[in-house]
Amino acid sequence: MPRKEKLHVVVTRRLPEVVETRMKELFDVELNEDDRPLSREELAAAMQRADVLVPTITDTIDQALLARAGERLRLIANYGAGVDHIDVHTARQRGILVTNTPGVQAEDTADMAMALILAVMRRIREGLDVMERGEWEGWSPTAFLGSRIAGKRLGILGMGQVGQAVARRARAFGMQIHYHNRRRVHPDIEADLEATYWESLDQMVARMDVISVNCPHTPATFHLMNARRLRLMKPTAVIVNTSRGEVIDENALTRMLRAGEIAGAGLDVYERGTDINPRLRQLKNVVLLPHMGSATHEARREMGEKVLLNIKTFDDGHRPPDLVLPSML
């Protein structure tokens, strides 16, 4: 029996070495040695010659680009849980399956959400800045006064795996857990987390000390935290976002932070990617991170293992375990 030809897999960014090594053992792999985002033309060319494309969040695969895909392309094995950068509906119409890597980034992203809450409420950035400039003159009873975490109300926007992981950590810090979700979670989960459900997002936002954004970006969640809803927040409240930047109206947030209408913000994601509002960078009550939520060795390896499993299962003629369906979005 003739040996089956290996799938030609094109990977758009560098992955952990152990993942790339295993991928080269299993498939005919084309790596991006420069580890720079592919241009639109380069991405289109890759989709012409690939059986399987392994993109990341830096690759926007829309309807127009999918129209240029070659006949060979049958699987887009996304390296990441979010697929808002991929037109899944059009892909399926063209007979192209889409998979993702859910469930492995939740704990690490939740760690980062708590780090941002602490950094903003305890003014860690300002303390670091003073130390780095060599301007610290010693302890003072009134210097760098922040807010106590214990007893504060945390409102979680999106109670999926990440939201629940944030809730577990926040409880350990003595915070009161509240949440808004598209659907109410199981009563056992609510009881375990001692979480209060709010059907009205407006009412929850108006009563919280901290808002943590943990929902995906979809047409329904675009600017979910818009100017009107941001104005509902207490002037002493802070907001953190480790999910998707598009969920918050970044310009409105910047204006309100500058005006002192919101006490602070901790952001790991931004509405326009690396094109961050320059006024946001100037604010002392804001902590900005370069999309580090899932940046642990463990998470990135596990994401790669899921990509490998999805491709291998597809190659064996079976349904990939992490298949994304349009009805799921």
In this prediction, residues 178-184 reach a mean pLDDT of 97
The Cα–Cα gap between 38 and 44 comes to 9
Q: What is the pLDDT of residues 59-75, one digit of tens each?
A: 999 999 999 999 999 99
Going by CATH, does the domain composed of 8-104+296-328 fall within 3.40.50.720? yes
The distance from CA 222 to its chain's CA centroid, rounded to whole angstroms, is 14
Measured CA to CA, the distance from residue 278 to residue 78 in angstroms comes to 31
In this predicted structure, the answer to whether residue 18 has a pLDDT above a threshold of 70 is yes
Phi, psi of 102, deg, nearest 5: -75, 155
In the predicted structure, residue 197 carries a pLDDT above the cut 90: yes
Query: What's the mean pLDDT in 270-289?
Result: 94
For 20-24, 201-205, 216-220, which range has the lowest pLDDT when averaged over its residues?
Answer: 216-220
- In the predicted structure, residue 2 carries a pLDDT above the cut 70: no
Q: CA-CA distance, 117 to 213, in Å (whole number)?
A: 11
Residue 1: predicted pLDDT: 46
Q: What is the distance between the alpha carbons of residues 174 and 151, in angstroms, rounded to a whole number?
A: 6
Residue at 235: amino acid letter: P
User: Distance (Å, rounded) from C-alpha 210 to C-alpha 26?
Assistant: 46
For the ranges 1-10, 157-166, 240-249, the lowest mean pLDDT is seen at 1-10
Q: What pLDDT does residue 4 have?
A: 76
Hey, what CATH class is 106-288 in? alpha beta
Domain ranges of the chain: 8-104+296-328, 106-288
In this predicted model, what pLDDT tens digit does every residue of 76-135 receive, in sequence order?
A: 999 999 999 999 999 999 999 999 999 999 999 999 999 999 999 999 999 999 999 999
Say if residue 329's pLDDT is above 70: no
